[in-house]
Structures are given as structure tokens and as C-alpha cells.
């Protein structure tokens, strides 16, 4: 296992702490995180919101940045909001049980 | 790191301006009931509706959409509607009316832009909502009596909220046919409102039946039926949503019973069932999401928030009874109680945000 896959798992773990307040489920299991890319010297997280009309984008960006900051190995990062492909309910992890408390988390792969 | 194009401070300032729209709108409502009667100056009682619809709801909803789109031009809607509040308060009626139109025009442009990005039913419904606000504001400029344009103003929060609920309720995976039915009911409602200008009783009867059906749809398909079994804000939000839908049903049946009254107590009863019973329930339901969206701060839950919710519905019931049987004292008690409920809710939100902020400062000092 190379170094980047370990860092990716740590990032995913932190991103699972970011909860969409409206749905009460973390953004990874909701399928809102599209990509975690490793550039030359920075990590790029591509994410979306459930609809372009959703005002949560700023809050989610702030939370994703906090999550990235908390991963020791990540020095430089960027968050990109993308609209393609459109998010759909089919992107939600099949294990997600909505509105369970505390918010559910699927097993890390 | 990618930074938002517009500073969060700007959003918070606009949120504050929407708050001024709300507070001055509430004050104007009280003046309408005779509060501080005989004193000179202050806010005109006629400003109650325009301030609540444009100054408060227009600024707030425009701000939500602008924060979603994050295009500088999309902030024109909340900025113009926010400025219109100041103009209303300063007594510049005609410039304020022009800004209502401009602000709602840019809100419609924002919604059409979103629809163009993603041509789906919920964006279309929200664009229709912005369109109804624009039509209402154009009629208002030409001094159309409020009772002849108020349905267009009501369409703005109604359709905006319906669009938002349809979007969220995708997670319930309603059948395609059910989604089409919801859209058809909303188009029927809008057509019926248009028809009220030709035949008021027939148009309003169709609109009322459609409204009851829309509320029925929401009872059947809204995720609130599931989330009511949850806890904290999620449960609170579900209770607020379902009681709000209940007021829509009552408003629909009241309309079938009394028709579409012109200015007077029955008219007031009907409007407040929609604007307080439904719209403010929705605001209470969504506050825990709206605030972090715009300010970046989560509002910690507290069961205290059930107090303003209970007062809102309880006093509205008193107010509506006071209107129907025409007992001005009862009507006033209900109205004052509604203002109190809204202020208690707002105060609770501000208190919780300040509490978290103070705690953080103490924690940071201790580090």
C-alpha cells in the first residue's frame, strides 16, 4: 500500500465527520464527495451539493477544509465544487440509514 | 484553498438586513392593530405586508439563492430587496416599490439561471415562486388593491418552499408520477390565481382545492413523517413542517367555506393561516439549516425552541378565532402572541449562537 492511499483513507475518515445538517448523514456516504486527487504538492477534493440551488455549499466547503487541515500529512489543499455529474439519490451509499442518531457511518474499506 | 467570492461578512450583514425587514414588518403589523395609536412618526401600518414579503422573505430567500449560486450578480436580489426595506422605513414609497420589482426580477433571473443549469421540476417551481413575487410587485406599483394581488405575494413563499421540499424529498424516492402530479397541482394553482382576476370566486375555489391537494401530497411524501421519530433539530423540524402543512389544509378549507374575502377580518384570518401558520412554521423548521448555510455557524439545539413553536400555533388559533367571530380583543391577543413567539424564536437562536461563541473564546484563552 503506497503512502497516498493511506493519506486518502485518513482524509475519507475525516470527511465522514462532515455531516449535512439537513439530511443528518455524512457527505461521503451521501455521495457528495466525487474525487480526492493528489497533485504535485496538494490534495484536491472535488465535491458537490444535492442541487445547485442549495445554500450549504459555503458551509460544506468550510467543513471540508477543516477536515483536510486535521490530516497531518496534508499541507496544501484545494476544494472544488463541481456540478457534473448531477448528484442523484442513486449516489447515496446503500447502507445509509437516514436520520439515525448518531449519524450512521458505513465501514471503512 | 478556494475562497468564496463574497465574504461571509456580507452574507451576515444581509441576514441582519432581512432581520430588520422582519422586525419592522412585525412592528408595522402591531401598529395596524392600534399599537402606540396616536403617536406621531413610526412605521405605516400599510407597510406590514410589503415589509414581510419583500423586506424579510425576499431578502432572506434571495440571499439563500445567491449563497448557493455564488455569482456576484445573484446578490443583486437580496441587496436591492434589503435596500427597499430602508426606503420603506424612510417613507420613500415609490422608489421602494421600484426596488421591489428590480429585486424580484433579479431573483427570478437567479432561479432561471439555476433552472438552466439543472432543468428539473423543483427549480421550475422555485422559479415560478420568484415569478409570482415579481407579478405581485408589478401590480403593487400600479396601486392594485392588496387583496387583489396578495395571492401572488403568497405564491412566493409557498412555491419556493414546495420546490425545496420536492428537492429534499427525492431521498424518499417518490414515484415519477407522484412528482409530476405535484408539479401539475402547482401549475394549476398558479393558473387559478391568474383566473381570479377574471372570476375571483371560481379562480380561488380551484386554487384552494389545489392547495389542499398539495398539502396532502406533502403529508404523504414528505420525509418529515419519518424524521418526526428522530431527535433534536431533525424532530423539531419535522413537527414544524407537519403542523405547517396542517395550516395549509385549514387555509384551503377556510377558503372553500368563505371564498376569497376582500380586506377585513376574514381576509386577515386567511392570510395569517398561510403566512404565519405555514410560512413561519417553515422558517422555524429550516432555521437550523439556513443559519449555518449563511453564517457558517451551527445553532446548538435546545428544547426551549418548542416554546415559541407552541406559542406560534396556539396564538394563531386564538387570532383566527378572534377574526372569524370578530372579537377585536381576542384577535389582538393572538396577534401580540404571534409576534412574541417569533421574537422568542429569534432571541433563542441569537442566544445559542452567542453562547457557542463565548464558549469558544473561553476555550481558546485556556489553550
Q: Kindly state the percentage of chain A with pLDDT values over 70.
A: 86
Q: For residue A106, what pLDDT is reported? A: 43
What does the pLDDT look like over A36-80, one tens digit per residue?
Answer: 998 878 899 999 999 988 888 888 998 999 999 998 888 899 999
Q: Is residue B40 predicted with pLDDT exceeding 70? A: no
The ipTM is 0.79
What does the pLDDT look like over B266-299, one tens digit per residue?
Answer: 999 999 999 999 999 999 999 988 998 888 888 9
The alpha-carbon gap from B313 to the nearest alpha carbon of chain A, in Å, equals 23
Q: For residue B367, what pLDDT is reported? A: 60
The alpha-carbon gap from A53 to the nearest alpha carbon of chain B, in Å, equals 5
What does the pLDDT look like over B100-128, one tens digit per residue?
Answer: 999 999 999 999 999 999 999 999 999 99
Tell which residue, B127, B125, B110, B245, has the closest CA to residue B180.
Answer: B125
Grouping H, G, I as helix, E, B as strand and the rest as coil, residue B78 is helix
A59 lies within 8 A of chain B by CB? yes
Task: Determine contact, residues B130/B110, Cβ cutoff 8 Å.
Answer: yes
Alpha carbon B235 to chain centroid distance? 20
State the burial class of residue A57 (Cβ atoms within 10 Å of its Cβ: 0-12, 13-18, 19+).
buried
Check residues B367 and B339 and name the one with the higher pLDDT: B339
**How many residues in chain B?**
367
Chain B CA closest to residue A87: B118
Tell which residue, B178, B270, B190, B272, has the closest CA to residue B218.
Answer: B178
Q: For residue B9, what pLDDT is reported? A: 87
**For range B220-225, the mean pLDDT:** 90
Q: What dihedral do alpha carbons B133, B135, B139, B141 form, nearest 10°?
A: 70
Cβ contact, residue pair B171, A59, below 8 Å: no
Cβ contact, residue pair B293, A101, below 8 Å: no
Amino acid at each position: 500500500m503506497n503512502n497516498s492511499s493511506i493519506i486518502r483513507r485518513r482524509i475519507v475518515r475525516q470527511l465522514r465527520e462532515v455531516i449535512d445538517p439537513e439530511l443528518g448523514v455524512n457527505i461521503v456516504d451521501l455521495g457528495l464527495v466525487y474525487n480526492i486527487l493528489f497533485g504535485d504538492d496538494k490534495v484536491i477534493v472535488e465535491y458537490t451539493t444535492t442541487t445547485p440551488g442549495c445554500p450549504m455549499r459555503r458551509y460544506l466547503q468550510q467543513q471540508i477544509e477543516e477536515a483536510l487541515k486535521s490530516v497531518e500529512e496534508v499541507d496544501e489543499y484545494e476544494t472544488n465544487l463541481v456540478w457534473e455529474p448531477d448528484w442523484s439519490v442513486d449516489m447515496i451509499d446503500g447502507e445509509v440509514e437516514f436520520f439515525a442518531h448518531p449519524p450512521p457511518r458505513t465501514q471503512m474499506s | 484553498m478556494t475562497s468564496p467570492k463574497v465574504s461571509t461578512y456580507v452574507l451576515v450583514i444581509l441576514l441582519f438586513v432581512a432581520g430588520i425587514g422582519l422586525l419592522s414588518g412585525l412592528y408595522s403589523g402591531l401598529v395596524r392593530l392600534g399599537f402606540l395609536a396616536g403617536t406621531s412618526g413610526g412605521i405605516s401600518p400599510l407597510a406590514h405586508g410589503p415589509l414581510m414579503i419583500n423586506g424579510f422573505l425576499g431578502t432572506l430567500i434571495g440571499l439563500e439563492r445567491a449563497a448557493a449560486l455564488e455569482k456576484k450578480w445573484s446578490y443583486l436580489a437580496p441587496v436591492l430587496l434589503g435596500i427597499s426595506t430602508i426606503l420603506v422605513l424612510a417613507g420613500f414609497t415609490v422608489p421602494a416599490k421600484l426596488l421591489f420589482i428590480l429585486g424580484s426580477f433579479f431573483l427570478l433571473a437567479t432561479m432561471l439561471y439555476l433552472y438552466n443549469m439543472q432543468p428539473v421540476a423543483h427549480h421550475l417551481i422555485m422559479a415560478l415562486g420568484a415569478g409570482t413575487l415579481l407579478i405581485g410587485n408589478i401590480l403593487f406599483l400600479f396601486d392594485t388593491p392588496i387583496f387583489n394581488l396578495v395571492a401572488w405575494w403568497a405564491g412566493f413563499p409557498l412555491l419556493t418552499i414546495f420546490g425545496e421540499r420536492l428537492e429534499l424529498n427525492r431521498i424518499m424516492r417518490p414515484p415519477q408520477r407522484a412528482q409530476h402530479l405535484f408539479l401539475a397541482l402547482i401549475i394549476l394553482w398558479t393558473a387559478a390565481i391568474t383566473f381570479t382576476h377574471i372570476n375571483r370566486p371560481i379562480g380561488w375555489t380551484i386554487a384552494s382545492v389545489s392547495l389542499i391537494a398539495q398539502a396532502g401530497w406533502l403529508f404523504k411524501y414528505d420525509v418529515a413523517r419519518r424524521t418526526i421519530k428522530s431527535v433534536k433539530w431533525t424532530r423539531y423540524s419535522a413537527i414544524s413542517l407537519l403542523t405547517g402543512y396542517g395550516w395549509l389544509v385549514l387555509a384551503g378549507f377556510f377558503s372553500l367555506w368563505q371564498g376569497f374575502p376582500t380586506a377585513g377580518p376574514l381576509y386577515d384570518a386567511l392570510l395569517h393561516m398561510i403566512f404565519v401558520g405555514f410560512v413561519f412554521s417553515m422558517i422555524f423548521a429550516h432555521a437550523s439549516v439556513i443559519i449555518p448555510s449563511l453564517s457558517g455557524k451551527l445553532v446548538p439545539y435546545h428544547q426551549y425552541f418548542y416554546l415559541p413553536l407552541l406559542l406560534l400555533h396556539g396564538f394563531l388559533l386564538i387570532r383566527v378565532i378572534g377574526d372569524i367571530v370578530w372579537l377585536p380583543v381576542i384577535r389582538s391577543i393572538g396577534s401580540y402572541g404571534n409576534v412574541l413567539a417569533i421574537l422568542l424564536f429569534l432571541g433563542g437562536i441569537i442566544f445559542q449562537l452567542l453562547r457557542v461563541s463565548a464558549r469558544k473564546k473561553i476555550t481558546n484563552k485556556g489553550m
